[in-house]
């Protein structure tokens, strides 16, 4: 009997070790599935030449990594414009995810045409286009988002008819607890605040941060990969006379 008990215990131990090994393999596979190869996404051969030109000033591999976008996520891309960042997000979330691309109804013709053409391409099959105001960007039934991106468009809301406090409250409400908001924009000079959005297409970093934090967000990381401290920040980014200093901020909705 003692021998049988020892044998049974040995078999149980072997089974447990096998189960642990299988769980470890499954966990590793899940991690691998959830963490895209951002460099491969950017290098995809079916990306357009126009997007590759934008890559030169956006450093998209680092930007994607900073957002932490993963397969299966629910993402909102605010101010999608022509859809450059929307497509990158869509490639990252894969078939199991979804990307909502918000643009206002008064989006100018050129980016609107680019976005509409992009929506007909295979990478955009998991994208839901939303034509909605910035301060009411989502339908009521869209909630518990994992990630919101707001790239180089927040400054535009400073001269548009947008209630930015309401916009930030809506973004906060749309995220699940622990969800992330990543904002990148062009730096204005200290003291310029939100007054040069239309002229220089910039916003003062500290002003943006205070507005977002007032909605309940907590700043958790700052990216320096688009920084250019040599930028005098006294010209329009649409007619640059040199490198443009840009900040990237990651905010989190507390659990």
pLDDT of residue 35: 74
Is residue 156 within 8 A of residue 133, CB to CB? The reply is no
Query: Residue 74's closest CA among 175, 168, 161, 169?
Result: 175
pLDDT of residue 139: 97
Residue 190 has pLDDT above 50, yes or no: yes
pLDDT of residue 6: 53
- What is the rounded CA–CA span in Å between residue 195 and residue 156? 11
pLDDT tens string 237-249 = 999 999 999 999 9
Strand partners, 227: none
**Which of the pair, 220 or 30, is modelled with greater confidence?**
220
pLDDT of residue 80: 98
pLDDT tens string 14-68 = 444 444 344 343 334 434 455 789 999 999 999 999 999 999 999 999 999 999 9
- What is the rounded CA–CA span in Å between residue 66 and residue 147? 12
- What is the rounded CA–CA span in Å between residue 185 and residue 164? 15
pLDDT of residue 247: 98
Residue 160 has pLDDT above 60, yes or no: yes
Mean pLDDT of 218-234: 97
> If 0-12 CB within 10 Å is exposed, 13-18 middle and 19+ buried, where does residue 24 land?
exposed
- What is the rounded CA–CA span in Å between residue 247 and residue 185? 6
CA atoms within 13 A on the CB side of 180: 17
pLDDT tens string 92-139 = 999 999 999 999 999 999 999 999 999 999 999 999 999 999 999 999
pLDDT tens string 55-92 = 999 999 999 999 999 999 999 999 999 999 999 999 99
Cα(first)–Cα(last) distance of the chain, in Å?
A: 54
Neighbouring CB atoms inside 10 A of 128's CB total: 15
Strand order in the sheet with 74-78: 127-131, 98-103, 74-78, 145-151, 175-186, 246-252, 218-223
pLDDT of residue 7: 52
């Amino acid at each position: 009997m003692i021998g049988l008990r020892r044998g049974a215990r040995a078999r149980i131990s072997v089974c447990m070790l096998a189960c642990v090994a299988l769980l470890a393999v499954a966990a590793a596979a899940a991690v691998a599935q959830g963490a895209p190869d951002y460099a491969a996404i950017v290098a995809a051969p079916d990306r357009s030449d126009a997007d590759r030109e934008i890559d030169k000033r956006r450093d998209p591999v680092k930007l994607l990594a900073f957002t932490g976008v993963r397969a299966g996520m629910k993402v909102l891309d605010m101010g999608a414009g022509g859809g450059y960042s929307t497509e990158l997000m869509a490639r990252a979330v894969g078939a199991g995810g979804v990307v909502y691309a918000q643009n206002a109804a008064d989006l100018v013709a050129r980016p609107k045409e680019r976005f509409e053409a992009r929506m007909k391409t295979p990478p955009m099959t998991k994208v839901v286009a939303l034509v909605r105001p910035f301060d009411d960007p989502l339908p009521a039934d869209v909630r518990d988002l994992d990630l919101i991106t707001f790239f180089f468009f927040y400054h535009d809301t400073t001269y548009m008819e947008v209630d930015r406090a309401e916009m930030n409250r809506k973004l906060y409400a749309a995220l699940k607890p622990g969800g992330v908001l990543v904002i990148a924009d062009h730096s204005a000079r200290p003291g310029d605040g939100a007054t040069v959005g239309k002229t220089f297409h910039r916003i003062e970093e500290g002003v943006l941060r205070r507005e977002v934090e007032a909605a309940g967000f907590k700043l958790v990381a700052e990216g320096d990969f688009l920084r250019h401290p040599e930028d005098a920040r006294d010209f329009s980014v649409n007619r640059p006379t040199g490198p443009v200093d840009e900040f990237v901020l990651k905010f989190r909705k507390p659990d």
